Amino acid sequence: MNHRAVVAGFKQQKIQFFSDPQWIIPSLVSPFLFTMVMLFLYGDDVDGPIVLQAVLGGGVLGMWANTLFASSFTISYDRMNGTLESIMVAPSSIYSILIGRSLWSTAIGLVNAVVVFVIAEVMFDADLTLANPVLFFVMLILTLFSLASVGMLIATAFIRTRMGRVLSTIAEYPIYVLSGALVPITVLPEGLRVFSYVLAPAWGIDAVKRAAIDGCESMFGVSMAVDVALLLALSSLLLAVAYVVTRRVERRMLETGSATRY
């Protein structure tokens, strides 16, 4: 991995974010919407833990949406704008560049979680005290790492297609359902829950909720150590798969000269 390419990828994604601020939607508007729908559904019965659950759920869904859309567009845009060739001729691997870009999207995910948290605190004046703030912060970082690994896989898988946008739109709500962020996966049919088990961030979400809300039980029925172990194992697997896919796609594009085919 090339450290300078990672930093450059991070910086480039930051510039792209501010010059084309439509990522504000998954980062800020969408988590706000999910949080508010849940709170309005509860009516007047909202108290601290419920608001916290809604805020965490909405915030995590926003992080999911940000990962999904930013990752699927990141290389598609280069392909569409004709800048993918320039990236390909650089001596650095696309993998390093994508790591840098995913890290920016992940960092924005953290910002959106904080913003939703502040909005809910101000609007509902609820007591949003975290059960274990240190553990919560650690688990949030690990969840962001798992989201970044998913983002890496999506970005590499979508390099060769011009349908990144369509595919990410197709994946959006199924992922919301399976993630367990707003609605615990225990309410899903058994057949669907299997898909949640392979989503690395779902284990992170489980751990985040338990660290934040006093008395919150695991939706997987496991200890927090198991949550963390599975999150790390699945995220590492995703990164490894992303690495293999990137190498293959990169080689294929160099052989066929199809970087600008659109």
Partner 1 sequence: MTGTATIIWATAKNTFISRFTVTPPIFWALQIVVTSFFTMYFFSLLAEYVGNPDVTVAFVVIGNAVQSIAATTLYSVSEIPSVEKHTGTLSSLMQSPAPMFTVFLGMSLFSIFSGAVAVTLSLGYAAFFFHVSFAGCNFLSMALTLTLTCLSLTGLGMLIGGAGLHLRTSAIIANVVAYIGLLISGVNFPVSYLPGWVQAASACMPLTYGVEAARAAVEGASPAEILHPLGMMVVLGLAFAVLAWFAFRFFERLLRHGGKTDAF
| Residues of this chain that bind partner 1 (CB under 8 A) | 20-22, 24-25, 29-30, 33, 36-38, 40-43, 80, 162-163, 166-167, 169-170, 172-174, 176-177, 182-184, 187-188
- Looking at beta carbons only, is 22 or 129 nearer to partner 1? 22
Q: How many helices (H) and strands (E) does the chain have?
A: 11, 0
Q: Is residue 67 a contact partner of residue 147, using CB atoms and an 8 Å limit?
A: yes
Burial pattern 46-63, b for ≥16 Cβ within 10 A else e, equals beebbbbbbbbbbbbbbb
- Looking at beta carbons only, is 45 or 255 nearer to partner 1? 45
Token pair 């699945």 is found at: 234
User: Closest distance between partner 1 and the C-beta of residue 247, in Å?
Assistant: 26
- Looking at beta carbons only, is 115 or 183 nearer to partner 1? 183
User: Closest distance between partner 1 and the C-beta of residue 178, in Å?
Assistant: 10
**Whole-angstrom distance, CA of residue 80 vs CA of residue 84:** 8
User: Closest distance between partner 1 and the C-beta of residue 225, in Å?
Assistant: 27
- Looking at beta carbons only, is 24 or 228 nearer to partner 1? 24
Spatial neighbors of 232 by CB under 8 A, at least 6 apart, are 142
User: Closest distance between partner 1 and the C-beta of residue 210, in Å?
Assistant: 18
